[in-house]
Amino acid sequence: MALISLEHAKRHLRLGESLDQDREVAETLAAAEAIVLDYVVQRRTDTASPFWVTTVASWDTVTVPPAIAAAVLLQLGELWRFRGDDEAAPKNEHGYLSPRVVALLHRYRDPAIA
């Protein structure tokens, strides 16, 4: 399930039309989407309702809520910029997502949706 197209991701990263980095962008985009969905669905705590899991699984590039798409793009940018070799990388508390990503996603966490 893709929430953001490769072309959209490349525009967000300001990479232009070059095909040189498509594989790396696609892999990083997949990781960003997985991180965001993991936070939204709370897979680690196994507390998400089946309805919510089904709802999230139905999202695609057309139906994804704008705040979720924005969170994926922010996470993509962070993963792209800070690849583990940069001492200037932000130090998020306890390994959590950046506060900007969390702010976008918080209202989408189950059971926050009524």
Torsion of CA 100, 58, 5, 72, to 10 degrees: 10
Q: Which pLDDT does position 1 carry in this prediction? A: 67
Residues comprising the chain, all counted: 114
Q: Which pLDDT does position 12 carry in this prediction? A: 93
In the numeric block, which tokens belong to residue 91?
Answer: 């130090």
Which residues, in sequence order, are CB contacts of 73 under 8 Å at separation 6+? 4, 8, 9, 12, 32
Q: Which pLDDT does position 61 carry in this prediction? A: 93
Tell me the one-letter amino acid at 85: D
Q: What is the mean pLDDT of each run of 10 residues along the chain (114 residues)?
A: 91 83 93 91 65 88 95 93 69 71 83 49
Residue 21 is classified by DSSP as T
In the numeric block, which tokens belong to residue 22?
Answer: 């498509």
Q: Which pLDDT does position 17 carry in this prediction? A: 74
Distance, in Å, from the CA atom of 13 to the CA atom of 5, rounded to the nearest integer, reads 12
Q: What is the CA radius of gyration of the chain?
A: 14
Which residues, in sequence order, are CB contacts of 92 under 8 Å at separation 6+? 98, 99
